[in-house]
């Protein structure tokens, strides 16, 4: 099993156990591939939910650039909702899991088709 496949398996487990979501493995795989090499870097592979600069990065680079959403007041509350669903007590919030949940939240699965 490749390193990416191992990570996808770990992310799927996080979605099931920590978020109560049964992942669409095809979509999760595409989201992971879209994250690029950041998934292999310990710091870049996680989202620091308490840092405003990190939330801003997710908003700008993922929601606006990748998903094509217009910048607006509903983006940051959506990020907060997803992070809350992941669990504030979870130390490691994997970027791919957060992006997967945001994709579902905004019903933007078509971006990955």
33 Cβ partners below 8 Å, 6+ apart? 4
Does this model's pTM top 0.75? My answer is yes
Q: Where are the domains of the chain?
A: 3-111
Q: What is the pLDDT of residue 71?
A: 96
| pLDDT at residue 43, rounded to an integer | 92
pLDDT tens digits for the chain (113 residues)? 899 999 999 999 999 999 999 999 999 999 999 999 999 999 999 999 889 999 999 999 999 999 999 999 999 999 999 999 999 888 889 999 999 999 999 999 999 98
**Hey, CA dihedral for 78, 90, 50, 98, is it positive or negative?**
negative
Contact 105, 38 (CB under 8 A): no
Q: Are 39 and 32 in contact (CB under 8 A)?
A: yes
CATH of domain 3-111: 1.10.238.120
């Amino acid at each position: 099993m490749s390193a990416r496949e191992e990570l996808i398996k770990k992310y799927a487990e996080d979605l099931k156990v920590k978020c109560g979501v049964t992942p669409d493995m095809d979509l999760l795989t595409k989201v992971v591939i879209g994250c690029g090499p950041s998934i292999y870097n310990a710091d870049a592979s996680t989202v620091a939910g308490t840092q405003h600069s990190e939330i801003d990065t997710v908003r700008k680079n993922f929601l606006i650039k990748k998903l094509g959403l217009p910048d607006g007041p509903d983006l940051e509350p959506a990020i907060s909702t997803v992070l809350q669903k992941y669990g504030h007590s979870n130390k490691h919030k994997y970027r791919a899991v957060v992006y997967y949940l945001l994709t579902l939240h905004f019903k933007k699965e078509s971006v990955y088709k």
